[in-house]
Amino acid sequence: MGQGKELAPELTVGLDLGDRYCEICLLDSEGEVVERGKVRTGELPLRRRFGGIERARVVLEVGTHSPWISRLLAELSHQVVVANPRKLRLIYENPRKTDRADAEYLARVGRMDPELLAPVTHGGPQAQADRGVLRARQQLVSIRAKLINHVRGAVKSWGERLPSCGTAVFAKRMEHVIPEALRPALKPLVRQIEVITEEIKAFDEQIEQLCEERYPETRLLRQVPGVGPKTSLSFILTVEDPDRFKRSRDMGPYFGLVPRQRDSGSRERSGRITKTGDKMCRRLLVQSAHYILGPFGPDCDLRKWGKQIIERGEARGRKHAAVAVARKLAVLLHRLWVTGEAYEPLRAAKAKEEPNAALV
């Protein structure tokens, strides 16, 4: 944030990232193209290329290589603007889209006003590595779910049905109830499910260890029932610096949990949520919201507020309530992190009762 408010350099560079080569377009202070070219996607070539020019504003798009390249360019004293891909329709809708054209568009928009690109702030290398643990676990959970669904579907197509059970014990309970004719095909999959389950448990232990040893601030967030190690750690690693945000309310838009606005003249229309920001953290926040609203959720302000939305009887009321609670939960977690306060589950309800008690 605030990248566009720095003193603007004379040069602007559009950098279109590729797996092997990056396309470069360099503009001067008048917006004239002074150089085009390519550089190999690697630390040494990029360091040589950008270490030999004066300080410039380098504009690149979010992608696989953008975290480490943005850190490298910032180390070389360049002003780095990492563009949000949702703000680049000018590039995507170009009928003659090429890497060369993309680099020039990035440079021209970045030279005009970087804030138009809704710059993204990448985390540091340690946060990126620790976030990789969460993402690796997520991939294993997704693979396990697909394997379980395949096994259940195969048995169902045989005219039978496997009993219900949790994913963590699926392999042990289903190994001996699979129809004999299907065992040659399905037993290898069941063994893989068991191996993946053990790997997921190992990741869970690693996440717990990260929370305790490297990110003790997660304890503040875990005061809220339904917010466990994965959600709290993902939140901490995604936000990284809570002081980047002036208000806790900014958490809703940051995680894409606010509806799209389409206002035209006197008409005001709200669409579905924007789904900007980190997808994994948003999903974890919504999962925590479902727990808060579920049968085991504790009595708290978030639950009361979400239940009111459900009771309105609107279409998809429970789904809307979960998103709304997730948005408020993100605000609450940021507030707890910044202030270090103890969590009060019924703070709003208590505040309403106190004025009434004073009137008696």
How do residues 241-260 score in pLDDT, each as one tens digit?
999 899 999 999 999 999 87
Give me the mean pLDDT over the 86-112 stretch: 80
Structural domain includes residue 72: yes
Same domain, 301 and 345: yes
206-235 average pLDDT score: 97
Mean residue pLDDT of the chain comes to 89
Q: What is the mean pLDDT of residues 324-349?
A: 94
pLDDT value at 360 more than 50: no
Query: How confident is the model over 260-277, as pLDDT tens digits?
Result: 766 555 555 566 888 888
Please state, in angstroms and rounded to a whole number, the distance separating the CA atoms of residues 135 and 67.
16
Instruction: Give the count of domains, the chain.
Output: 3
Domain final residue, candidates 92, 117, 142: 117
Same domain, 175 and 236: no
Q: Each residue of 113-143: pLDDT tens digit?
A: 888 787 888 888 999 999 999 999 999 999 9
302 assigned to some structural domain: yes
* Co-location of 189 and 130 in the same domain: yes
Residue at a domain's end among 153, 179, 214: 214
83 and 119 in contact (C-beta within 8 Å)? yes
Among 95, 117, 139, give the residue marking a domain's end. Answer: 117
Whether residue 295 sits in one domain with residue 268? yes
Say if residues 285 and 305 touch (Cβ distance below 8 Å).
Answer: no
Q: Both 111 and 207 in a single domain?
A: no
Integer-rounded Cα Rg, in Å, for the chain is: 25
Task: For residue 63, give the CATH number of its domain.
Answer: 3.30.420.40
Identify whether residues 69 and 131 lie together within a single domain.
no
Whether residue 355 is contained in a domain is answered as: no
Count CA within 13 A, CB hemisphere, residue 145: 6
Give the pLDDT of residue 3: 45
User: How many CB atoms are located within 10 Å of the residue 347 CB?
Assistant: 12
Q: What percent of the chain has pLDDT over 90?
A: 71
Residue 261's pLDDT is 67
Same structural domain for residues 187 and 274? no
Report yes or no on 9 lying in a domain: yes
Residue 250 covered by a domain = yes
- 159 within some domain: yes
Cβ contacts of 64 within 8 Å, gap of 6 or more: 17, 19
Q: What is the pLDDT of residues 175-189, one digit of tens each?
A: 889 999 999 999 999
Total-model pTM = 0.84
* Of 15, 293, 279, residue with least CA distance to 134: 279
Residues 210 and 246 in one domain: no
> Are 205 and 260 in the same domain?
no
Same domain, 343 and 233: yes
| Residue 308 belongs to domain spanning | 229-350
> Is a pLDDT exceeding 80 seen at residue 313?
no
Q: Are residues 93 and 142 in the same domain?
A: no
What is the spatial distance between Cα 283 and Cα 118, in angstroms, rounded to a whole number?
Answer: 22
- Burial pattern 179-218, b for ≥16 Cβ within 10 A else e, equals eeeeeeebeebbeebbebbeebeebeebbeebbeeebebb
